[in-house]
Structure 1
Amino acid sequence: MKKILGLVAFMTIATTAFTYAQSKTDVALNQVLTAYYDVKNALAADKKDVAIEKAKVLSAKVNAVNHKDLPAEQHKIFMEQAAVIKSKSAQLAGSNDIKTQRKAFEGISYAMIKTLKSLKFNSQTVYVQHCPMAKASWLNEKENIENPYYGSMMFDCGDVSETIKSK
Structure 2
Amino acid sequence: MKTIIISTLALTAITFAACNNQQATHEAQHTDSSAAAHHEAASAEKPMATIKPQFTDVNPTAAASIKAVVDGYLQLENGLAADDDAAAAKAGKVMSEALAKFDASSLTPEQQKIYVANKDDLKEHAEHISKNAGNIAHQREHFAEMSEDIYDLVKAFGGGEPLYHIHCPMYDNNKGAWWLSKSAEIKNPYMGAKMPTCGVVEQLIQ
Per the normalisation by structure 2, the TM-score is 0.68
Q: Give distance in 1, aligned partners of 2:160 and 2:75.
A: 17
> What's 1:155 paired with?
196
Q: How many residues align?
A: 146
Task: Report whether the alignment pairs 1:90 with 2:131.
Answer: no
**1:1-167 paired onto structure 2 within 5 Å:** 22-95=59-132, 96-118=134-156, 120-134=157-171, 135-165=176-206
Whether the aligned pair in 1 keeps the contact of 2:188 and 2:196 (CA below 8 Å) is: yes
Amino acid at match of 1:63: A
- The Cα offsets for residues 8-49 of structure 1, whole Å up to 9 and x where unpaired, read as xxxxxxxxxxx9980111011111111110000000000001
Amino acid at match of 1:60: E
Greater relative CO, 1 or 2 (CA 8 Å, sep 6+): 2
- The Cα offsets for residues 121-152 of structure 1, whole Å up to 9 and x where unpaired, read as 33211100010101100000011111100111
Q: Which runs of 4+ in 1 moved over 3 A?
A: none
Q: Give distance in 2, aligned partners of 1:121 and 1:163.
A: 11
Q: Give distance in 1, aligned partners of 2:162 and 2:87.
A: 25
List alignment gaps of at least 5 residues for structure 2.
1-55
Note closer, same or farther for the CA distance 1:93–1:132 as it changes in structure 2 (3 Å cut): same
Query: Which secondary structure does the structure 1 equivalent of 2:59 belong to?
Result: helix
Identity score, percent: 29
TM-superposed deviation, 1:80: 2.0
List alignment gaps of at least 5 residues for structure 1.
1-18
Query: Which secondary structure does the structure 2 equivalent of 1:61 belong to?
Result: helix
Amino acid at match of 1:136: A
Whether the aligned pair in 1 keeps the contact of 2:158 and 2:205 (CA below 8 Å) is: no
TM-superposed deviation, 1:73: 1.9
TM-superposed deviation, 1:92: 1.4
